[in-house]
Amino acid sequence: MIVLKEGDKAPVFSGKDQNGRKISLVDYKGKKLVLYFYPQDLTPTCTLQACNLRDNYSLLKSKGFEILGVSPDDEAKHKKFEQRNKLPFPLIADTAHRILEKYGVWDWKQLFGHKYMGVLRTTFVIDEKGIIQKIFLKPNSKLHTEEIIKAME
């Protein structure tokens, strides 16, 4: 359950990306960060969202945003997802759900009457000082960049 609110300090985290590099929230100090949590690599909706951010990467960068994706998939699956979709941003492998739990996005979900633990698709926009400026619950995967830019104007 997401208990973080806009105006809260973003929880500090670290993890490894698809290239085995260690990435931490501290690496983004002084930068605006679009931190997006998604359920699974190589699935239709997650691919739509990642490709929307990829297609608008230059626009987001021109407005000062960095992008970082997080899912419970491992580094190898992230690498395949990155290569297949030519993603220009890092994807953290959170197989132990530590970051997902810190942000409250690892929770019970339901599909066709079946309950299971999974990722609540959520995006946090974090400012240069590490403060959460905006939280997108259930972002529109096809129009995610537009949502971010409109909300942050």
Task: Identify the helix (H) or strand (E) that includes residue 54.
Answer: helix 44-55
145, part of any domain:
yes
10, part of any domain:
no
- Residue 101 near residue 65, CB atoms below 8 Å: no
Domain that holds residue 93: 30-152
Q: What is the pLDDT of residue 1?
A: 80
Q: Please give the mean pLDDT across all residues of the chain.
A: 97
- Please, which pLDDT band fits residue 153 given cuts at 50, 70 and 90? confident
Q: Which residue has the tokens 């002084």?
A: 30
47, part of any domain:
yes
8, part of any domain:
no
Query: Does the pLDDT at position 2 exceed 90?
Result: no
Catalytic residues: 46
**pLDDT single digits (tens) 27-80:** 999 999 999 999 999 999 999 999 999 999 999 999 999 999 999 999 999 999
Domain count, the chain: 1
The CATH number of whichever domain residue 88 belongs to comes to 3.40.30.10
The one-letter code for the residue type at 146 is E
DSSP sequence for 74-102: -HHHHHHHHHHHT--S-EEE-TT-HHHHH
Q: What is the pLDDT of residue 104?
A: 97
140, part of any domain:
yes
**pLDDT single digits (tens) 131-145:** 999 999 999 999 999
The one-letter code for the residue type at 48 is L
6, part of any domain:
no
39, part of any domain:
yes
